[in-house]
Chains A and B, each alone.
Chain A
Amino acid sequence: MFLLVAALAAVSTVRGADIAGVVTFKGTPPAEREIAPLMDNPDCAAMYKTTPTTHFYVVGPKGELADVVVSLKDVTGKSTGAEAPPVVVDQKGCLYTPTILAVQTGQKIIVKNSDNCVHNVHSKPTADGNEEHNDVQMPGGADLTYTFAKPEPFLKFQCDVHPWMFAWVSVIDSPYFCVSDKDGKFVIKNVPPGKYTVQAAHRKLGAQIQEVEVKDTDVTVNFTFEAK
């Protein structure tokens, strides 16, 4: 009985607390553009009835802002990426899905091609130690797998065959991050007690930080971005 209590206490200590919150956008975001070149490509146009648009600013009716990478700044060397399940990126309708994602250093990124046309998967890192790749992926071809060793915000993936196709992958050297959903919500789970700088980074709107202290209960921190 004593051992069971001790074990539960230990697990409880390791688990830590969650940092959760909502990211909102104040103001009017710039208008998105129709991806007209997509409709000029017969292979891609066949998958659409109307012209798809860019989605740089995914903003809900109450200003909920999606696609914001929220992470613990300056927490490094804590990656469990090698053991973490892979993250899947699909090329579907001649667009990347999702467009914004985050992974740990060393975590596998699996890129699929669900389209009936060829894509080239071209990653363009800028951090030393992250390798650039440019690989062909035929329709129905095998999945491609990538890992990146060094942290880097918004590492770009692109398809040069279809030059409107982009995905941005934030590579983080710890498991403490989350990408805000369509409701603007995020949860960074199991954060050990301590003082942290929480960073919220949007690809177009830049980054904000807030200081928080995690003890034994969950912490709430919200971010508000404004049109510049």
Chain B
Amino acid sequence: MSKSATNKANPWLCRFAVLTAFVTFLLIGLGGLVTSHGAGMSVPDWPNTYGYNMFAFPISKWVGGIFYEHTHRLLASAVGLLTTILAVWLWLKDTRPWMKWLGVAAFLGVIAQGVLGGLRVTLHRDSLGVFHATLAQLFFILVCAIALFTSRFWAELSAVRMNFFVSRGLRTLVLVTTMLIFIQLVIAATMRHQHAGLAISDFPLAYGKIWPDTGATAVAGYNTRRVSVTEEAPVTAFQIKLQMWHRVVALAIFILVAACAWRAWRRLGGNDSLAKLAVFWLALIFAQVALGAATIWTNKAADVATAHVMVGALSLVTGALWCLIGFGRSASAIPDAQTFGVFGVQTSMMANK
């Protein structure tokens, strides 16, 4: 990011963006609860709720699956309102043209997300749920990025003496890892919106093997033995393979994030904000792996599965913010960086003085 692209910090705008991001995060969690409880279609109409104006739907009728779906809609409306205010605020007060358009993009994004959620109900399309879940993640990144770009931290990023140049190799590694996490979340959204319960009921093995048999006879046997309270459909070979790929990609992400944290720590030093962020990222991935295992061991308990969704969203946005900051500290963005040297702990120590 060039120096000219920075802006004088606007603390209240930044705080408002952070608030929008936080409520969006809660909304992702509530959306996760809707899917985890199989409640996505418990309110058959949209934008009304059981014939009522959504905001006038009596609290006494918020029961069973309706509670999750209806509160999801109300919180989504709140995010829509916050995003609209944020977009208008950016348009009026932010001096950077690209930030104004980022606000417009957020506004259009929240509208698209709301319509997508509504169509998923009215068109009876489970597959739209995958796009709804994916767009939610992208929207979360966008709002968090706006919060970053309006922060004092970002405004000061071009003050060269406070930062160290981040090598291209490290930036690329983090970018690739973040993209892999996004792919992982798309796989996860596809799994969840198949509404088939747990495709594989054991972990770390899969039906007692490292790689399960997905032949027709074996799959028929798995279905015979599956007894689930909220089971909706028999599991298929495709779903089993999808969950296996989810596990494989999870392992790859774990290794890559560990590599990112190690390289960031080594090259930038332990006091560097990006090194700390990378370590936090690794901690998130640890938690995410544990929650993934717990999701299986608890037979997909709704709260555990939802926590897995939320930590997944945090993992993605952490990688995305790291990329934005990292690219903001690239050699081209920090013309004077070379004067501090570009590699290694020694350089970091110099600049920390």
Contacts and interface: CB of A to CB of B under 8 A. Distances in A.
A211 interface: no
B225 A30 contact: yes
A35 interface: yes
Interface in B17-45: 37-45
Interface residues of A, number: 35
Contact of A227 (B50, B121, B224, B231): B224
B74 interface: no
A206 B227 contact: no
11 contacts: A30-B224, A30-B227, A31-B227, A35-B229, A41-B63, A54-B229, A132-B124, A160-B65, A161-B66, A204-B224, A206-B224
A68 to B, nearest CB: 14
A174 to B, nearest CB: 25
B97 interface: no
Contact of B63 (A43, A56, A164): A43
A169 B270 CA distance: 62
B230 interface: yes
Interface string B115-144: 000000100100000000000000000000
A114 interface: no
B221 interface: yes
A169 to B, nearest CB: 14
A118 interface: yes
A33 B44 contact: no
Contacts of B42: 120, 159-161, 163
Nearest to B40: A160
B64 interface: yes
A228 B225 contact: yes
B223 interface: yes
B61 interface: yes
A54 B227 CA distance: 8
A136 interface: yes
Contacts, number: 86
A34 B63 CA distance: 21
Interface string A26-58: 000011111111000101000000000010100
A75 to B, nearest CB: 25
B228 interface: yes
Contact of B65 (A34, A35, A161): A161
Interface residues of B, number: 33
B227 A56 contact: yes
Contacts of B39: 160-161, 163
Interface of B: 37-45, 50-51, 61, 63-66, 69, 121, 124, 217, 220-221, 223-233
Contacts of A118: 50, 61, 63, 66
Given A122-B44, A136-B50, A160-B41, 17 more contacts: A30-B224, A30-B226, A43-B64, A117-B63, A117-B64, A120-B41, A120-B42, A136-B44, A136-B51, A156-B233, A161-B66, A163-B38, A163-B39, A166-B231, A166-B232, A205-B224, A228-B221
A134 B37 CA distance: 17
Interface of A: 30-37, 41, 43, 54, 56, 117-118, 120, 122, 124, 132, 134-136, 156, 158-164, 166, 204-206, 227-228
Contacts of B65: 160-163
A33 B300 CA distance: 14
A162 B65 CA distance: 6
Contacts of B44: 120, 122, 134-136
Contact of B227 (A32, A122, A159, A164): A32
Nearest to A41: B64
Residue of A118, A160, A162, A228 contacting most chain B CB atoms (<10 Å): A160
A158 B43 CA distance: 13
A164 B229 contact: yes
Closest 7 CB pairs of A and B: A163-B38, A160-B42, A228-B221, A161-B64, A134-B44, A160-B41, A132-B124
A158 B232 contact: yes
Contacts of B124: 124, 132, 134
A164 B37 CA distance: 10
Contacts of B220: 206, 228
A137 to B, nearest CB: 10
A5 B41 CA distance: 60
B229 A160 contact: no
A48 B21 CA distance: 43
Nearest to A164: B229
A166 B38 CA distance: 12
A208 B300 CA distance: 32
B230 A37 contact: yes
A115 B121 CA distance: 25
A160 B223 CA distance: 22
A160 B227 contact: no
B117 to A, nearest CB: 15
A156 B233 CA distance: 9
Contacts of B231: 166
Given A122-B41, A204-B223, A33 B66 contact: no
A227 B223 CA distance: 11
A228 B229 contact: no
A207 B217 CA distance: 12
A33 B63 contact: no
A160 B67 CA distance: 11
A228 B232 CA distance: 20
Contacts of A56: 227
